[in-house]
Each structure stands twice: as structure tokens, then as C-alpha cells.
């Protein structure tokens, strides 16, 4: 009997802690009532991200910073890509990672936005919009312009980067060995969506595939609060969603290292292994092995 009570308590506690994907679904009298949280659920749903523990620089025995690519074509990375259409038909709470970042940037919740992964050139939301939207004269507009007629806004084709155009994410993070705890840890520092250059959207898939660029870089600690309130759809149990912050910090994704910090101005793998995808992949795995083996070697010597 006590065992049954314990199991029931764990189930109730788990639902309270993680929230319900479709809150009030079983008690709603109208479709509009689905998703409405009561006071206790709202309080539990608005928890801040778990703070990182303080790390003294003297406790860091060894570290290595790497840049990785998360390919959104891989099935394991689908939770970061879908849904591609943000029309509210599925759920107001279901958004892609790109949409979560963009919405929070627009709302002013995420302010540390940069043009490079070294976070030395901060950009504004207006500057960011210029890289996400392109306005080009249509064929009819060109004909009107050549004929000397007045061109209006209706004569322009507008191309915009949306979720479906984002094909990758790039992440920057540091692996470090904490000698006080005696373990290897990872700290995510930066996050960037990658999509075709907006100027190539009118040129077709081939041109788009050859013009992939990081749209912007987010200083990840500044985005944690926003990402901890955004839920990822759990395909195995829709009543137990996970936050984007938990997913990324626990490294629940598949990635390939394309650059590590090095004396050669942090050159990328493709800069010293030319036009050989297999060898580039093997080099990425070699870098991973060096990082992984460091912790093992600490106790084997």
C-alpha cells in the first residue's frame, strides 16, 4: 500500500514540476479554456533557469573551446526545428527554437545579440531585421521602372527568413576540468541560427545551399531565462515537455565540431583539410576524443 502511495505522489509531483502540455484539457468546457493555467500551475510554470554554480578560475585545471554544428536535418535534432509554421494552430506554446529566440529578441528579453561568435560587435534588433528580410523589385516593377512609371510597394517581392529556412544551429562552448569536483564539465556560451543569405532566397535551392551564414549570435547566459520558459514537444510523452534550456545544457542533440581554439587564428577544420568530407568528419571525432579522454587520463596515470 505504501508503495502505491509513493508512486502516486511521484506522478503528481512530476506533473506539477514540469507542467502539462495541454493544461486544463480534461476540464475545459470550451476550446478556448484549453491551456489556461490555474494559480499553482502558473507559479510552477514560470520558474527561472537553474543557476550555474560559481567556478573559480583557480579550479579550472584545463579547458578547450569548440564550435559545433547542429544539423536540423537529423532526426534527433528535430525538436529544435519544428514547428516550422508559427500560426498558433497547433498550440501557442509550441514554437521552434529560432522563433523563440526571435520573439524574445523583439520583446527585449534577449539583448546580447552579436554578429560574430567572439561577441565583439553588438547589433540591434533593427540591424538584425536587415539580415532577415530582403525587398526586391518584381519583374512587373522592373518593367514599370524602365518605362518611367511610378513604382509602388506592391511592385516589390519581399523575402524573409522564417523557421523553415533555418537548416542548422551553431553552438560555441567550453569544456573544462574542475579539479575541485574532479570531473569534466561543459558550459554553453553562444548560439546562432544558420540559414541561406536572404539575398539568395529568390535564386532557388542551389544558390541557397551554397550561401549558408549564421544570422546572429546570442550570448547564451543572457537567453537562458527565455529558453527556460519555452517548452519542447516531448514525442514520447506529450504531458511532460522539456525546456529548451534543459535540452541544450544537457546536450540532447547531435553535433559535429567544425572549429576549435588554436594557435592558427582558430582556423576551421575545412581550412586545413580540403574538400574531403570523410577526413573532416574524422578530424571532428578526433577532437572529441581528445576532450573525452582527458578526464579518463586524469585517473589512469
Which of 107, 85, 102 lies closest to 94 in space, CA to CA? 85
Question: Is residue 23 in a domain?
Answer: yes
Domain that holds residue 289: 56-300
Which of 297, 267, 263, 283 lies closest to 177 in space, CA to CA? 297
Average pLDDT over residues 237-263: 92
On whether both 62 and 27 belong to a single domain, the answer is no
DSSP category for residue 164: G
On whether both 29 and 159 belong to a single domain, the answer is no
Residue 8 has a pLDDT of 40
pLDDT band at 249; cut points 50, 70, 90: very high
User: How high does pLDDT run on average in the chain?
Assistant: 83
On whether both 160 and 239 belong to a single domain, the answer is yes
Q: What are phi and psi of 154, to 5 degrees?
A: -70, -10
On whether both 210 and 291 belong to a single domain, the answer is yes
DSSP category for residue 122: B
On whether both 80 and 30 belong to a single domain, the answer is no
* Predicted structure pTM score: 0.82
pLDDT band at 35; cut points 50, 70, 90: low
Q: What is the pLDDT of residues 86-125, one digit of tens each?
A: 655 556 678 899 999 999 999 999 999 999 999 999 999 9
Q: Is the pLDDT of residue 20 over 60?
A: no
- From CA 242, how far away is CA 123, in angstroms rounded? 30
The total number of structural domains in the chain stands at 2
State the sign of the Cα–Cα–Cα–Cα dihedral 270, 271, 275, 280: negative
- In terms of Cβ atoms closer than 10 Å to its own Cβ (0-12, 13-18, 19+), residue 108 is exposed
On whether both 33 and 150 belong to a single domain, the answer is no
Place of cell 519555452: 230
The answer to whether the bond into 83 is cis (omega within 30° of 0) is yes
On whether both 30 and 167 belong to a single domain, the answer is no
- From CA 121, how far away is CA 190, in angstroms rounded? 14
On whether both 218 and 186 belong to a single domain, the answer is yes
Question: Is residue 49 in a domain?
Answer: no
State the sign of the Cα–Cα–Cα–Cα dihedral 76, 111, 68, 294: negative
DSSP category for residue 94: -
DSSP reduced 3-state for 159: strand
Residue 152 has a pLDDT of 76
Q: Is the pLDDT of residue 24 over 90?
A: no
Which of 116, 115, 121, 63 lies closest to 261 in space, CA to CA? 63
Question: Is residue 111 in a domain?
Answer: yes
Helices (H), the chain: 2-18, 39-45, 78-81, 97-106, 125-132, 139-146, 205-209, 220-228, 244-249, 277-300
Residues recorded for the chain: 301
Residue 150 has a pLDDT of 77
Q: Which residues of 44-83 are buried (b: 16+ CB within 10 A; e: fewer)?
A: ebeeebeeeeeeeeeeeeebbbbbbbbbbeeeebebbbbb
Residue 25 has a pLDDT of 61
Q: What is the pLDDT of residues 192-205, one digit of tens each?
A: 999 999 888 878 78
Residue 47 has a pLDDT of 61
- What lies within 8 Å, CB to CB, of 300 at 6+ separation is none
- From CA 46, how far away is CA 42, in angstroms rounded? 6
Q: What are phi and psi of 185, to 5 degrees?
A: -130, 165
Q: Is the pLDDT of residue 19 over 50?
A: no
On whether both 163 and 213 belong to a single domain, the answer is yes
- What lies within 8 Å, CB to CB, of 180 at 6+ separation is 56, 59
Amino acid at each position: 500500500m505504501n508503495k502505491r502511495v509513493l508512486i502516486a505522489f511521484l506522478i503528481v509531483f512530476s506533473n506539477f514540476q514540469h507542467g502539462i502540455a495541454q493544461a486544463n484539457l480534461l476540464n475545459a468546457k470550451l476550446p478556448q479554456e484549453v491551456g489556461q493555467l490555474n494559480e499553482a500551475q502558473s507559479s510552477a510554470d514560470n520558474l527561472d533557469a537553474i543557476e550555474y554554480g560559481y567556478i573559480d578560475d583557480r579550479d579550472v585545471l584545463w579547458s578547450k573551446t569548440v564550435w559545433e554544428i547542429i544539423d536540423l536535418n537529423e532526426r534527433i535534432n528535430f525538436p529544435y526545428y519544428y514547428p516550422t509554421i508559427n500560426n498558433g494552430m497547433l498550440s501557442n506554446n509550441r514554437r521552434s527554437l529560432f522563433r523563440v529566440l526571435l520573439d524574445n529578441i523583439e520583446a527585449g528579453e534577449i539583448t546580447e545579440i552579436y554578429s560574430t561568435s567572439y561577441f565583439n560587435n553588438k547589433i540591434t534588433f533593427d540591424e538584425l531585421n536587415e539580415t532577415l528580410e530582403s525587398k526586391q523589385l518584381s519583374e512587373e516593377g522592373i518593367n514599370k521602372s524602365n518605362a518611367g512609371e511610378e513604382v509602388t510597394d506592391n511592385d516589390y517581392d519581399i523575402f524573409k527568413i522564417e523557421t523553415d529556412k533555418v537548416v542548422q544551429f551553431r553552438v560555441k562552448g567550453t569544456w573544462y576540468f574542475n579539479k575541485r569536483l574532479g570531473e569534466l564539465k561543459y558550459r554553453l556560451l553562444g548560439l546562432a541560427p544558420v540559414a541561406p543569405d536572404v539575398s539568395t532566397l529568390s535564386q532557388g535551392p542551389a544558390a541557397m545551399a551554397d550561401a549558408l551564414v549564421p544570422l546572429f549570435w546570442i550570448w547564451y547566459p543572457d537567453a537562458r531565462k527565455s529558453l527556460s520558459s519555452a517548452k519542447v514537444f516531448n514525442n514520447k510523452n506529450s504531458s511532460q515537455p522539456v525546456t529548451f534550456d534543459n535540452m541544450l545544457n544537457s546536450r540532447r542533440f547531435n553535433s559535429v565540431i567544425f572549429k576549435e581554439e588554436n594557435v592558427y587564428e582558430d582556423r576551421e577544420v575545412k581550412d586545413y583539410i580540403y574538400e574531403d568530407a570523410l577526413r573532416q568528419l574524422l578530424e571532428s571525432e578526433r577532437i572529441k576524443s581528445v576532450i573525452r579522454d582527458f578526464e579518463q587520463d586524469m585517473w589512469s596515470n
